[in-house]
Chains A and B, each alone.
Chain A
Amino acid sequence: MRASLFITCYNDTLFPQTGRAVVRLLERLGVSIDFLPAQTCCGQMHANTGFRGEAFSQAKRFVQLYRDTECVVIPSSSCVAMIRDQYPGLFEELGNDDLRKQFAALLPRVFELSEFLTDKLGVEDVGAYFPHRVAYHASCHGLRGLHIGERPFRLLSKVRELKLTPIANLDRCCGFGGTFSVKNAEVSTAMLDAKLTDLLATDAEYCTALDNSCLMHVGGALHRRNLKMRPIHFAEILASTEGVYL
């Protein structure tokens, strides 16, 4: 199987280790990875901030770039939610018939990483080893946007030596929200405080999620407060094997 990796703009720039982990994980499972260097951003930041025309140009770029690929894997649930939930509206308003058709044909082939593993590859045990206590933070876009459900838990439950520590108020936002964290920094911080309280109560060593955006937010506060818990992307846990941590 071939999969084209859409790494996303912020993972590319700030969290390359997540991309490396995805490559390691998928290649271990026998998937050939392509990486189209012309990729940039899905347009989520612009769309969610109200820059509709700008978001459209990025959405169009995405579709034109990936329309001929076998399937696209994205290690970020919010970017996948952007594509599924917002592209249709953008293309209906600003696109033409060609673009809409191309998008409709591409959409079923776009997967978030955990979806790709469970739905497309049909695996739950990816052969990972991660001997730590881990709290899973359900990012809003994965939970309510993609209805990701039990997939991440099924995958994590098969990781050897990993101990999952349940977190209270699993469905509550960490307060990131893209530009919300800047435009409403104080409220965002109050939400983050509440999330940290729930996280710290788990006594986990790592906090993981499908999205580095939430993890950047949570991790930034953990570091600010000199706390030991560390953020780690879901892919990095699944890529880990005995002797090789990412």
Chain B
Amino acid sequence: MSGPVMDPRLAPPFPKAALPILQNTQLRKNVAHATDVIQTKRNRLVAEKTDWQELRTSAAAIRAHVLANLATYLDEFEKKCTAAGGVVHWARDAAEARQIIIAILQEEQATEVIKIKTMTSAEIQLNPALEAAGIIAIETDLAELILQLGQDEPSHIVVPALHVNRQQVREIFARRMGLPQLPDDPEALTAAARTYLRKKFLSVPTAISGANFLIAENGSVAIVESEGNGRMCLTLPRTLITLAGIEKVLPRFSDLEVLLQVLARSATGERLNPYNSLWSGVVPGDGPQRFHVVLLDNGRSEILGRKVERQTLQCIRCAACLNTCPVYRQTGGHAYGSPYAGPIGAILTPQLEHMRHGQSLPYASSLCAACYEVCPVKINIPEVLIDLRAKVVDQEREEVKRWTDPMYMGMKAANLVFASESRFRLAQWFGRLGLRLFTDKDGWIRKLPSLGARWTLSRDLPAMPDQTFRNWWAEREGRGGKEAR
């Protein structure tokens, strides 16, 4: 079985990637169940919070403030982290980040590395690079472990294995952990993972983490999690490498009073995540005695410079937009061809790819704005989607194939039509005539050619009425008006 392609440079366009998934009823059932559960919890906990909108407003304001002053805060973070014994590295792009991390691991003579779930690591395709360098990456988040052992790919930012059910997990664990008798209840499966990973936690001396927040004020890093695998990785190894996007910084420790509240409620429907860990640099006698932070740009500074798109970087990766998105709920994450799925992925991925890949993603939305409504940092995702669509169309305007693209030509023609009343009337007249060819005797259209066939795939269309509204109005005015019908 060939797995889903999660590299935006290689992945098929969204509509095509979605096709096999739409046929996979089991996967869709798993996705719908999981998103329902999280969303119900989230809604309940948001409803109990009487100051939810004020928290959102503050969270958005803090994130926007950081972005407007990003250089200052990164500089401060670097100084404080270094003073606390950490080593700060800067990576322009994915390749440089991989190179830095591998160099550190080689210096540590690492053959294995334990990992906390990190989106940024998936973004830079770290695991294949580690493997190529002869270093075995061990994912310690339960969901990531399921996917790693099952040679599958994540389909959600917070619960990456939500598309896999217990029987599938049992099969993977039984095969890969050598436990043929393993039952399929989640308790037993979790226990099996605990035993499997315990040995790794106690023996592997190097770890890689992401970061939920970097605190400029004192150079500390914050990680939120549920399982305790994070605490293990942050505490037991000799050496820790934290990979973080440059946008992750917060001005002060106390800003967490806003962000932790909105993150936990939005991500998992909890008042706070079971575990939040914070540390500054190296603390003698407690935890890793060598600590590196890799600050990753990889397109972010470019996004920062775009007026509408900058808000993309406010994201705190809670995935509330995925859970509520009616598109994501049908397709799950794999159709997005990127570790970042759902509405946030649809705006983030093409931008991280400098608009050279993933151009179908901004169109993978009905613009229903459910994402904007739940976003705890008020990212107006529909607005960004529309702006990115304009950038995609601006690319199309330069391409020769536009002349044969029915959507492009249709849009250009429609624009000419809408620019003049007489042309609009004429188009209505021709439209009625043209549609008549496809209209059945009962006044319904069941099959259209070209782009129209995409509509009639599942929807009939009523025939065009004999009289447009404007003609009826003109006729009525002619009769002296003011009389219904």
List the interface of chain A (C-beta within 8 A of B). 7, 9, 11-20, 23-24, 27-28, 35, 37-41, 43, 45-52, 54, 57-58, 61, 85-86, 89, 140-141, 144-145, 171-173, 175-192, 194, 216-217, 219-221, 223-224, 244, 246
Contacts and interface: CB of A to CB of B under 8 A. Distances in A.
B444 to A, nearest CB: 6
Given A50-B389, A58-B415, A181-B455, A35 B330 contact: no
Interface string B400-432: 000000010001101101111100100010010
Interface centre among B364, B419, B469, B470 (most CB of A within 10 A): B469
Given A85-B383, A89-B308, A181-B454, 4 more contacts: A50-B386, A50-B390, A190-B28, A220-B459
29 contacts: A13-B431, A19-B472, A27-B482, A28-B484, A40-B418, A43-B418, A48-B367, A48-B389, A49-B407, A49-B411, A54-B411, A54-B414, A141-B369, A144-B372, A171-B370, A173-B326, A180-B363, A182-B407, A182-B451, A183-B363, A183-B454, A184-B327, A186-B15, A188-B366, A189-B459, A194-B330, A219-B462, A223-B462, A224-B460
A184 B14 contact: yes
A36 B411 CA distance: 24
A98 B27 CA distance: 54
Residue from B368, B444, B473, B484 with most neighbouring chain A CB atoms (10 Å): B368
Nearest to A239: B484
Best-buried of B14, B326, B417, B474 by chain A (most CB within 10 Å) = B326
Most buried by B among A28, A176, A183: A183
B411 A183 contact: no
A67 to B, nearest CB: 17
Decide if the interface of chain B is mainly helix, strand, loop or mixed: helix
A175 B391 CA distance: 24
Nearest to A57: B419
A12 B469 contact: yes
A217 B461 CA distance: 8
B408 to A, nearest CB: 9
Contacts of B484: 20, 23-24, 27-28, 244
B465 A49 contact: no
B373 interface: yes
Interface string B9-23: 000001100110010
B55 interface: no
A140 to B, nearest CB: 4
B191 interface: no
B458 interface: yes
Contact of A37 (B22, B28, B367, B421): B421
Interface string B174-186: 0000000000000
B467 interface: yes
B368 A144 contact: yes
A187 B457 contact: no
B365 A192 contact: no
A173 B459 contact: no
A51 B15 contact: no
A7 B470 contact: yes
B464 interface: yes
Contacts of B455: 181-182, 185, 220
B473 A35 contact: yes
B393 A20 contact: no
Q: Which 8 A-B pairs have the closest CB atoms?
A: A177-B366, A220-B459, A50-B389, A50-B393, A173-B368, A19-B469, A16-B469, A140-B368
A86 B369 CA distance: 14
B109 interface: no
Nearest to B382: A85
Given A16-B469, A38-B421, A45-B414, A216 B458 contact: no
A144 B373 contact: yes
Given A46-B415, A47-B386, A177-B366, A224 B459 contact: yes
B459 A192 contact: yes
A51 B415 contact: yes
A27 B483 CA distance: 9
Contacts of A188: 366
